[in-house]
Amino acid sequence: MEEKGDVEEIVIVGAGISGLATALGLHRLGIRSLVLETSDSLRAAGYALTTWNNAWKALDALGVADSLRLRHDRLAGNVTFSAVSGKPTSNLLFTGHRDQEARTLMRKSLLEALAVDLPKDTIKYSSKLVSIEEEAAGFLKLLHLADGTILKTKVLIGCDGVNSVVAKWLGLKKPSLSGRNATRGIVTYNDGHGFDNKFMWFFSKGLRFGVMPCNSNTVYWFATWCPSKQEEEIEENPTKLKEHILSKLGKVPDQARAVVEDTQVDAFVSLPLRYRRPWELVCNNFSRGNVSIAGDALHSMTPDLGQGGCSALEDGVILARCLAEAMSRNPNGEVEDKEEYKRIEKGLEKYAKERRWRSIKLIIASYVVGSIQESKGKVMNYLRDNILADSLVGVLMKISDFDCGTLG
């Protein structure tokens, strides 16, 4: 049997946005954690993400916002177009609108910013969790890794995405398929891309297409669509996938179309979109004893409000704060195992209480907005382009008006 000294304080599974944000928050508060990452390096999958007000408040709390602001331009507004008519349906400048701050961050840049201040031994790469076991006394979790290693921990946090081993152990189902796919790409222009600093959305029958500048040289784009049975096979062929996306764009400006044309076929990333059914978070506990989840493992959602990464940062700040409060030591000495376990349990329950309804709201809003934006129906398309455009952008602004608070 391993000695007490071999027990980890906190193990976080997954070095994605929520995992690294939680680890950094804990580090800022003087608490060590160990992050287990399946890959052999930081993952850059996903290319880029839009960070809204709520994300910047979390990044400020974590102490990494300023360095990221220097490398990524601020978006001045949001423009939506009908790809059927080619005309704009909404044009919103962020200036004066709740002081909205939005930027498109390279995912790699964000992960590196979260990881750079962590102690060197915090992230353990090539470490895949395969199963979880409870110690006989019930206070510790035994983590079985793919290489045969067994770790003991006082706290286990699953930030391991839609295929979360930790969420499965808690009794949650794998997030459901939405029936939609997302194709993404990124292009760098050595002489500058020439786009205004605006987030551009284009909507046509069954397609949602977006173009976002990251800085003066790099542009990120995405397309979400509902594949038919015949179209599902296209994803296996990058050349056909590129041709398919271009054929569905409709009347988008030549400059926006060129972004897809200029993307190398081997740089296309296409995946089915999944979401956590919201009633699962109503009916089930995602915190049990000294185990909980965050990020996509908790609230996987469709990307229609750009809140997946933003909410993962919220999770990290709130989770770190709740755990730090729970794991504070008795000034007269070490607390007993049972007492500490109870504190941890209460701390994670507090975290779950704070995140439950926010997560449910984000999942539902993203799904509903996406369904409207990507509708194939003539009536809904007319309403979207002529009546609902400003309202849909308003939902995006309102949902990002959230403050996760500070670490302290």
The CATH number of the domain holding residue 223 is 3.50.50.60
Q: Is the dihedral of CA 79, 81, 86, 87 positive or negative?
A: negative
- Report d(CA 294, CA 53) in Å as an integer: 20
The CA distance from 135 to 141, in Å, is: 6
Residue 106: how many other CB atoms lie within 10 Å:
21
Which pairs with CB-CB distance under 8 Å and at least 24 residues apart come from 255-263? Answer: 255/194, 255/195, 256/200, 256/202, 256/209, 256/211, 256/221, 259/185, 259/187, 259/211, 259/219, 259/221, 260/185, 260/221, 260/223, 262/187, 262/189, 263/185, 263/186, 263/187, 263/221
The predicted pLDDT at position 208 comes to 87
Higher pLDDT, 272 or 93: 272
Ranges assigned E (strand) in 69-135: 77-82, 88-93, 103-106, 123-124, 129-134
- Comparing CA positions, the residue from 228, 237, 234 lying closest to residue 179 is 228
Where does the pLDDT of residue 331 fall: very low under 50, low under 70, confident under 90, or very high at 90 and above? very low
pLDDT of 5 over the 60 cut: no
Q: Is residue 407 part of a domain?
A: no
- Is 377 within the bounds of a domain? yes
Q: CA-CA distance, 269 to 402, in Å (whole number)?
A: 30
For residue 32, the enclosing domain spans 5-398
Mean pLDDT, the chain, whole residue set: 88
**For residue 405, is it within any domain?**
no
How do beta strands 207-213 and 218-225 pair? antiparallel
Could you report the per-residue pLDDT of 124-159, keeping only the tens digit for each? 999 999 999 998 777 899 999 999 999 999 999 999
Determine the distance from the C-alpha atom of residue 189 to the mean position of all C-alpha atoms in its chain, rounded to a whole number.
27
- Residue 335 token pair: 């607390």
Query: What's the rounded Cα separation, in Å, for the pair 310 and 312?
Result: 5
Q: Is residue 2 scored above 50 in pLDDT?
A: no
Q: How far is CA 323 from the centre of its chain?
A: 21
Helix (H) or strand (E) run with residue 188 in it: strand 176-188
Query: In Å, how far are 128, 294, 320, 324 from 316, measured between CA atoms?
Result: 21, 8, 6, 12
Residue 147 lies in a domain: yes
Say which range, 45-54, 186-195, 270-279, has the weakest mean pLDDT.
Answer: 45-54
148: region left, alpha or beta (phi > 0 left; psi from -120 to 50 alpha): left
Stated pTM of the model: 0.92
pLDDT for the residue numbered 225:
85
Total domain count for the chain? 1
Is 339 part of any domain? yes
Determine the residue type at 101: E
Place of tokens 């004066």: 96
Question: Does residue 369 belong to any structural domain of this protein?
Answer: yes
Look at residue 295 and tell me if it is in a domain: yes
C-alpha distance across the termini of the chain, in Å: 37
Residue 131 domain-assigned? yes
